[in-house]
Amino acid sequence: MSVTDDTLAANAEFAAGFTGPATSPPARQVAVVACMDSRVDPLPILGLAVGDAHVIRNAGGLVTDDALRSVVISQRALGTREVIVMQHTKCGMATSTDTEFRAALREDTGVEPSWAPGFFPDIDDSVRAGIARVEGDPHVVSAAVRGFVYDVDTGALREVSS
């Protein structure tokens, strides 16, 4: 049995107890950009419920082109108006560099990736860069964006001043 098989079995139980659909436009009109990290579960951390928010996640919680794509669609197609950028302490993306990671990929596969890996030396600077990307994007409807660092050891958020 693979983990994927296990999740399918677990989903049968989930569906049996399913209490009905939420509506599509996020009720709290907020989009969250967060890291894919297994320790980060954005909704409970932020006191949000299913149906409240769009949740965009990637390695690092970076405001990449793809995260911007998602934020723009979130705002224009489904009416969100605030953006929360939430990175976290002890992130793996702060433990190497793009140069090192690219070199390892080249060595191992013979091919460099087309994408920038996205490693960063300073978490606050990375959050600030994310905020700046949302604020500077010509396609967002609302640039009401704030940034936070989630502490994986305490569960607490710290706001990053921009």
User: Which residues ranging from 103 to 132 are in contact with a second copy (CB under 8 A)?
Assistant: 104-105, 109-111, 113-118
User: Smallest gap, in angstroms, from Cβ of residue 46 to a second copy?
Assistant: 4
Of the residues 97, 103, 155, 162, which one makes contact with a second copy according to CB under 8 A: 155
CB of 99 to a second copy, least distance (A): 15
Is the Cβ–Cβ distance between 56 and 71 less than 8 Å? yes
**Whether 37 contacts 62, CB under 8 Å:** no
Measure the CA angle with vertex 91, ends 48 and 127; round to 5°. Answer: 65
Residues 6+ apart with CB under 8 A from 148: 84, 85, 86, 87, 127, 157, 158, 159, 160
Give the nearest distance from C-beta 160 to a second copy in angstroms: 12
**Among residues 1, 4, 107, 121, which is the contact residue for a second copy, using CB under 8 A?**
4
Whole-angstrom distance, CA of residue 96 vs CA of residue 108:
17
Out of 57, 128, 135, 143, name the contact with a second copy by CB under 8 A. Answer: 57
Nearer to a second copy, 90 or 122 (CB): 90
